[in-house]
Chains A and B, each alone.
Chain A
């Protein structure tokens, strides 16, 4: 177990700057997820941590020790790859045993026939067998130990890859999109398995994914990456409820957050689609265009005269417990998604007009550069009362 520090990590590939100064402290035993769209540099960062790629600048510290000169195998971390990367010619047992054999046996002891002649080989092989058995029990692989990877299903291969990582009890586990080759059902299942594994091993987990659901459900903390930068680091609920950047707000949360064009007056009052909102900025930002984000579950049905906007239902997605309404707002080409509990959406059908409002404190305001701006709700005001679903 160990903590891990990234200090001003940069990486360039020729002309492209893949990482632009990553600063991150990962605590001992933490489950940290690096999440971001594909191509934002997550794998590159993970490979730099593992030592498989050399950073152009900055430092990686594992357990407070600088590891730039330390070879990947000596950094005491294990990695699970998206493609599983199992040795195709070795059985499941041998695949899991490789990291131990490479560490515990001498060159002579690894030779096919000579190895029994070297004293101590038998004892070491017994230790290895014990450790492989322990790992395969944790992952339920006992029945498969003699198979070759080609004879396994995707989920089983995934488990073998995890087994190969856990046998040698490393300080840090790195996962690079380990679930993205699995089907949806298995993905959900493996999600809980990996979380349970973390709880059991109590090691530091760094988990890379482009799937925000995985990030939200599994992690202690999420680090959102965009275009080679860390945009926000925080617990799942912090990142969801209090995104510091419009890209984070858009990336985290499904269905996607609704973004509306807005503006601010010189005294800080926020206007949404030209309507007054009773929201005002804490710090002035006069005369600028802004964006206002409202999550689908924060929009609610309202009386026509009190509603802040109305629209026509284009599509209804019924998920059983809840319903997603896709609306087209009046007078413009703005589309909106509303998430309603099933009962509230009962009478609504396609082509119906619905009227919407939102609790003011839920609105997220972003400036022109996409940075979050803090707002407060005017203490008294007619619109505040009009919010029926606060």
Chain B
């Protein structure tokens, strides 16, 4: 039976959780709210969450020689159209999706067989290799960024998709996570597959991978979130070519110039960037639960 603590303790627990949730949500709240409001409302911090949505005049548009009527819109439309106009946001989103998906796919192609070998095959030196995997988990990315950059520069790969993808293709975290999960798959299942005529690679892709759907989802969330949101590495290796910008790099386009930062469009861009992640997470969450029930590992 579950132990029921006193109402006071329960109230305290909830209070702590609510405060925690607020701290996490507050930046998102601000982002969403700014993406809806006019520059004046943002500066003066008025207008509540939605802003008054009073029609406003886009001064830049007027400067280009259009009439004031043509340049009058409401703030939410202004912010979101600016997000797409001022920078090639669709291009950035495509780059982000392409890079993130490539990284995740190649990570899987490397991590799943490696995890299988580390968990289910007996070979000389296995423990040493696993120890090295654990050791690599301790190396922070920023520590090896410079050597990595130099290596990529030496082979002339900076300012390419390859520079964005290659350094992340071996995920020791992925290997570790999948290995821990594969350890729980019964050996009998693998032996049965061998008797059924599967090669070791077939076992990896046809037996281990489908049974590991929950672990896969967890890994996917970590990998995709990390690389979709990554600002540091693209900033290092993409130095001029705007065609290759990922969404977080794209955000810089709105950084203040002579006329100050364009907060509204910037936050609109940020909102657009996080939406795919949130959508993907909600989908994955459903799959995650399905994965657990389907595999019969309740």
* Residue A171 is within 8 A (CB to CB) of chain B in the complex: no
Contacts of A247 in B (CB 8 A): none
Per-residue B-contact encoding for A74-95, CB less than 8 Å = 1, 0 else? 0001110111011111000000
* Pairwise interchain contact B195-A79, C-beta atoms closer than 8 A: yes
CA distance A50 to B195 in the complex (A): 8
Neighbour of B192 across the interface among A77, A81, A103, CB < 8 A: A81
Given that A83-B186, A149-B296 are known contacts, is A102 also in contact with B196, CB under 8 Å in the complex?
Answer: yes
- B295 proximity list for chain A (CB < 8 A): 88-89, 150
Tell me which of B191, B197, B207 contacts A87 (CB under 8 A): B207
Question: What total of chain A residues lie within 8 Å of the partner, measured CB to CB?
Answer: 25
Judge whether A87 and B189 touch: CB under 8 Å: yes
Q: Are B297 and A88 in contact (CB under 8 A)?
A: yes
**With A88-B295, A99-B197 as given contacts, are A81 and B210 in contact (CB-CB < 8 Å)?**
no
Knowing A85-B189, A148-B294 touch, does A102 contact B198 (C-beta < 8 A)?
yes
Q: How far apart are the CA atoms of A149 and B294 in the complex, in Å?
A: 9
Instruction: Return chain A residues, CB-CB under 8 Å to B213.
Output: 89
**Complex contact B189–A72 (CB within 8 A):** no
Do the beta carbons of B191 and A83 come within 8 Å of each other? no
Given contacts A88-B296, A89-B210, A150-B296, contact A73 B188 (CB under 8 A): no
Within 8 A of B (CB), among A163-195: 164
Chief secondary structure at chain B's binding surface: helix
Q: Would you call A52 an interface residue if the criterion is a C-beta within 8 Å of the partner chain's C-beta atoms?
A: yes
In the assembled complex, B194 has its CB within 8 A of some CB on chain A: yes
Q: How far is the CA of A112 from the CA of B68 in the complex (A)?
A: 59
For A81, the closest partner residue in chain B by CB is B188
Residue B239 interfacial (CB < 8 Å): no
User: For the complex, what is the distance from the CA of A134 to the CA of B196, rounded to whole Å?
Assistant: 18
With both beta carbons as reference points, the residue of chain A lying nearest to B202 in the complex is identified as A102
Give the B interface residue count (CB, 8 A).
Answer: 22
- Could you count the A-B residue pairs with CB atoms below 8 Å apart for me: how many are there? 71
For B187-228 the 0/1 string (1 means CB < 8 A from A) is 011011111111000100001001101000000000000000
Which residue of B189, B202, B211, B293 has the most chain A CB atoms within 10 A of its CB atom?
B189
| CB of A80 to closest CB in B, whole Å | 9
Chain B nearest CB from A268 CB (Å) reads 52
Given contacts A52-B194, A99-B197, A150-B293, contact A89 B188 (CB under 8 A): no
Given contact pairs A88-B294, A89-B294, A73 touches B189 in the complex (Cβ within 8 A): no
Pairwise interchain contact A99-B191, C-beta atoms closer than 8 A: no
- In the bound assembly, the distance between CA atoms of A72 and B194 in angstroms comes to 7
- A73 with B197: in contact, given A79-B192, A83-B188 (CB under 8 Å)? yes
Distance between Cα atoms of A72 and B193 in the complex (Å) = 10
- Least distance between B95 CB and chain A CB atoms (Å): 28
B195:A52 contact, CB within 8 angstroms: yes
In A36-78, which residues have CB < 8 Å from any B CB? 47, 50, 52, 71-73, 77-78
Which residue of chain B has its CB nearest to the CB of A104?
B197
Q: Measured between C-beta atoms, what is the minimum distance from B195 to chain A in Å?
A: 5
Contacts of A89 in B (CB 8 A): 210-211, 213, 294-295
Contact A85 B197 (CB under 8 A): no
Chain A contacts with B in 277-308, Cβ cutoff 8 A: none
Of B186, B189, B193, B197, chain A has the most CB atoms within 10 Å of the CB of B197
B residues within 8 A CB of A88? 210-211, 294-297
Residues on A with C-beta less than 8 A from B294 are: 88-89, 148, 150
Least CB distance from B4 to A in Å reads: 33
Q: Does A98 contact B (CB under 8 A)?
A: yes
Name B296's contact: one of A47, A72, A148, A164 (CB within 8 Å).
Answer: A148
Contact residues, A209-233 vs B (CB, 8 A)? none
| A82–B188 touching, CB < 8 Å | yes
- Cross-chain contact B196 with A98 (CB below 8 angstroms): yes
Contacts of A149 in B (CB 8 A): 296
Residues of A within 8 A of B210 (CB): 87-89
Task: For residue B206, give the distance in angstroms from its CB to the closest CB of chain A.
Answer: 8
Q: Give the residues in chain A near B189, CB-CB below 8 Å.
A: 83, 85-87
Residue in B192, B193, B197, B198 with the greatest tally of chain A CB atoms within 10 Å: B192
* B92, chain A: closest CB distance, angstroms: 32
Query: Which of B196, B293, B294 has most chain A Cβ within 10 Å?
Result: B196
Cβ–Cβ contact B197 & A102, under 8 A = yes
- Segment 320-345 of A: residues with Cβ below 8 Å from B: none
| Pair A72/B207 contact, Cβ less than 8 Å | no
Q: What are 16 A-B interface contacts by the 8 Å CB criterion?
A: A71-B194, A72-B194, A72-B195, A73-B196, A77-B195, A82-B188, A85-B188, A85-B191, A86-B189, A86-B192, A87-B189, A88-B296, A89-B210, A89-B211, A89-B294, A148-B296
Top 5 A-B pairs, shortest CB-CB distance: A150-B296, A102-B197, A85-B192, A73-B197, A89-B210
